[in-house]
Chains A and B, each alone.
Chain A
């Protein structure tokens, strides 16, 4: 079983409270403002990754304000009073000057900002992240400049018919829950977003008690915690309660269909089944189902579809999200194949799994693949931080550390039961990409 310890390490700075540890990751809290800090000290190259995950994503956006999370993420690089281009201290310039790999990303349940850099410069990353947690300027002029940048980013996404297909399927599958709208936002909302609106959003969600700071790599625990305290310790907590999403998606009562027509060459199919929240045990089982269905040449859909020339590629993706998401099967059609043939083949494969279950060998193979994947994901601080980020977004960082134990609990009966429960037509949204050329 995964080791979980409750004893705090020695020499802890007074302003830091130890909470728990799991599989080498230590969890602390700054009692003064509620900032959670996760540390994973590693041997290896003298580099570290610092990452701040804000527990805000496009799920938190209201109608008319879609894309706000992502736009704010861009504005967070435009600067603060101390770190600003006009002073020659832009965030990118300052961090990249010391060799940092620096960026951010926004998704449905979270926004994260990260720096991977030589350990000696870790205090600089902490200083910048602490400074922009409450000090972002969000200038009117910067908002205007960034608006066109984001519209171009959106145009790039729209160039890709598969990207449009995913947007359409999620849009049809979710009618009430905010997973309905794309993270980048609707074009009309991006065009109308105001600096005041972004400021209000920032003032609502960007607080230490709505964030987790993760540090992974080669570093000294005591020194690093002291740096964390120095930089983040004086920031106050949110003056108001952080709003939570309470909308629940109503139960779907039948299959839904969407079609994307766009110039292109090869068609594609995306089938999304409503799936449970990431933290539920059935979500672990769906990870296994995705592997058995579509991972590698031994998988069922490869053998039924790709090997028989129906598809050129087929993928199984279990989107593990905080609220119910979509278990998805995505396939590129092979040349000269049609959508009904491919959809029928996918349905047949799923029905066979539902009726006859899977073999112990298939389950063991899927588990071995996932175990190896986890070992690979510990290769380098950035990989670990990325995995941790998604576990945080799902609602519990220990989903990362306890994942192997959770997988051990999955049985062949679970696989069949979960396939029968979730991969049903009345939970399904099917999207077709139909090339028009």
Chain B
């Protein structure tokens, strides 16, 4: 393929190179880069599930059936198209969205898009395939039940959010029960009511010609109508007394611990960048306080991080610290973690820390955009948040402009060591026995 525009080289400005247009029923953002032959794509549409009514599972099951045959081709014919050209196509359920992502050699993009559109718009929902997909989802859940990290995260989410919130995870045992009661008709009904071009947005990045991609996407998705399911998810946090949930799991000598509380702001709040940087200083990377104290100085853990998790423009999220601790270091590890957090919130970050993390965040931002896959993901996420394309370029400036007062004010306004909830999963150490007693 040839194109008159020049590929991305040293210029850090992405927005002027991204073409943003309507293609068919949705929004298409394309970016040409200097990679050879390859394109990555990522797209999504809003489904508006009724999470309190168990729609997350219906959505997951519906998505898992999309590649199991359509009204026009069976599952093996669909797979053959992709496998013959080595393309990847993944369809996944992600809270309020269904996402589509993948990569292909550029000449194969038309056939990959055709398969994707067919799967999304005309799935067969064959009863035998439904039975198999349900067994597969059950197996995935059972494997998840074996993981201390997943169990701890689920337990914390239950302390922080109501059932109708996108960040709430139901217990796997509960989901398995729900799964038994679902029928293929439930999946057909869910698809009918929640699948469509509502807020359909697609980002394509790589060795491409903008107009050709627009033409392919426009034609392939032409006529795809939006659904009319309204947004009904909970947007705020649950109010739970501060406490601990322990998930005892035999034979797990490493205990996964989650500490956290909800934060009352969304991604588009003015204080978000300052809070993001504040948290980064506390636990954003290897050089952050938690890692350098609890791992480097005290040797108590292999991994400790803190993050702002699930904070969206559509709902609030949480601030979480994750730490893994060997069975006999659980109490000491949690106490040390809490000490670092308390000291950080009380005394705040230093000017040196802020300067260092500003360059870390802005530098790693540009490093992180070195592949077509990551570029497509960033462009889509930015669009899902409702931000202008130019924000991809102004985000580093926003970080650089923050002052120490702004960062420390955000830390003190939004992080509260006394409100931290705890969740642990693993083989019972003594502290968990005490909690259970």
> Which residues in A have some Cβ–Cβ distance to B below 8 Å?
42-47, 85, 90, 92-93, 96-102, 116-118, 121, 144-153, 155-156, 158-161, 217-218, 262-266, 295-298, 303, 307, 309, 312, 332, 334-335, 364-365, 368-373, 375-376, 378-383, 435-437
Contact A379 B250, beta carbon cutoff 8 Å? no
Contact A97 B356, beta carbon cutoff 8 Å? yes
Q: A96-B364, A152-B302 are in contact. List 6 more A-B contacts (CB 8 A).
A: A92-B285, A121-B363, A155-B326, A371-B86, A375-B105, A379-B206
Contact B82 A296, beta carbon cutoff 8 Å? yes
Interface residues of B in 350-402 (CB under 8 A from A): 356-357, 359-374
Rank and list the top 8 A-B pairs by shortest CB-CB distance, nearest first: A99-B363, A372-B86, A297-B79, A380-B371, A312-B139, A265-B142, A145-B299, A155-B254
Bound Cα distance A117, B362 (Å): 11
From A85, A152, A437, give the contact of B301 (CB < 8 A): A152
Chain A nearest CB: distance from B334 CB in Å?
A: 14
Known: A155-B253, A298-B80. A47 touches B86 (CB 8 A): no
Known: A44-B9, A47-B370, A152-B254. A145 touches B83 (CB 8 A): no
**Residues on A with beta carbons closer than 8 Å to the beta carbon of B426:** 159
B37 within 8 A of A: yes
Contact B86 A369, beta carbon cutoff 8 Å? yes
Bound Cα distance A373, B80 (Å): 16
Instruction: Identify which of B146, B285, B299, B370 gathers the most chain A CB atoms within 10 Å of its CB.
Output: B370
Bound Cα distance A92, B253 (Å): 28
- Please name 30 pairs of A and B residues whose Cβ atoms are closer than 8 Å in the assembled complex, sorted by A: A42-B34, A43-B34, A44-B9, A45-B33, A46-B366, A85-B292, A97-B360, A99-B367, A101-B367, A102-B286, A117-B363, A145-B296, A145-B298, A149-B302, A158-B253, A159-B252, A264-B251, A265-B143, A265-B146, A266-B142, A266-B146, A295-B83, A297-B83, A309-B135, A334-B136, A335-B138, A335-B142, A365-B83, A372-B86, A380-B35
Known: A152-B254, A375-B36. A380 touches B325 (CB 8 A): no
Instruction: Identify which of A146, A295, A332, A376 gathers the most chain B CB atoms within 10 Å of its CB.
Output: A376
Contact A149 B253, beta carbon cutoff 8 Å? no
Which B-chain residue is minimally distant from A299 (CB atoms)? Answer: B83
Which A-chain residue is minimally distant from B81 (CB atoms)? Answer: A298
**Residues on B with beta carbons closer than 8 Å to the beta carbon of A101:** 364, 367-368
**Residues on A with beta carbons closer than 8 Å to the beta carbon of B105:** 372, 375
Instruction: Give the dominant DSSP class at A's interface.
Output: mixed
Contact A158 B83, beta carbon cutoff 8 Å? no
Contact B370 A44, beta carbon cutoff 8 Å? yes
CB-CB contacts of B179-218 with A at 8 A, as 1s and 0s?
Answer: 0000000000000000000000000001000000000000
CB-CB contacts of B99-122 with A at 8 A, as 1s and 0s?
Answer: 000011100000000000000000
Contact A335 B34, beta carbon cutoff 8 Å? no
Known: A93-B287, A96-B287, A372-B87. A266 touches B37 (CB 8 A): no
Contact B370 A266, beta carbon cutoff 8 Å? no
**Residues on A with beta carbons closer than 8 Å to the beta carbon of B10:** 46, 218
B315 within 8 A of A: no
Known: A148-B300, A372-B87. A97 touches B326 (CB 8 A): no
Known: A45-B8, A101-B367, A265-B146. A378 touches B135 (CB 8 A): no
Bound Cα distance A99, B145 (Å): 36
From A117, A159, A161, A436, give the contact of B254 (CB < 8 A): A159
Which A-chain residue is minimally distant from B372 (CB atoms)? Answer: A379
Contact A152 B325, beta carbon cutoff 8 Å? yes
Instruction: Identify which of A100, A262, A297, A436 gathers the most chain B CB atoms within 10 Å of its CB.
Output: A297
B324 within 8 A of A: yes
Chain B nearest CB: distance from A207 CB in Å?
A: 27
Interface residues of B in 245-285 (CB under 8 A from A): 249-254, 285
Bound Cα distance A46, B8 (Å): 10
B297 within 8 A of A: yes
**Residues on A with beta carbons closer than 8 Å to the beta carbon of B360:** 96-99
**Residues on A with beta carbons closer than 8 Å to the beta carbon of B75:** 297
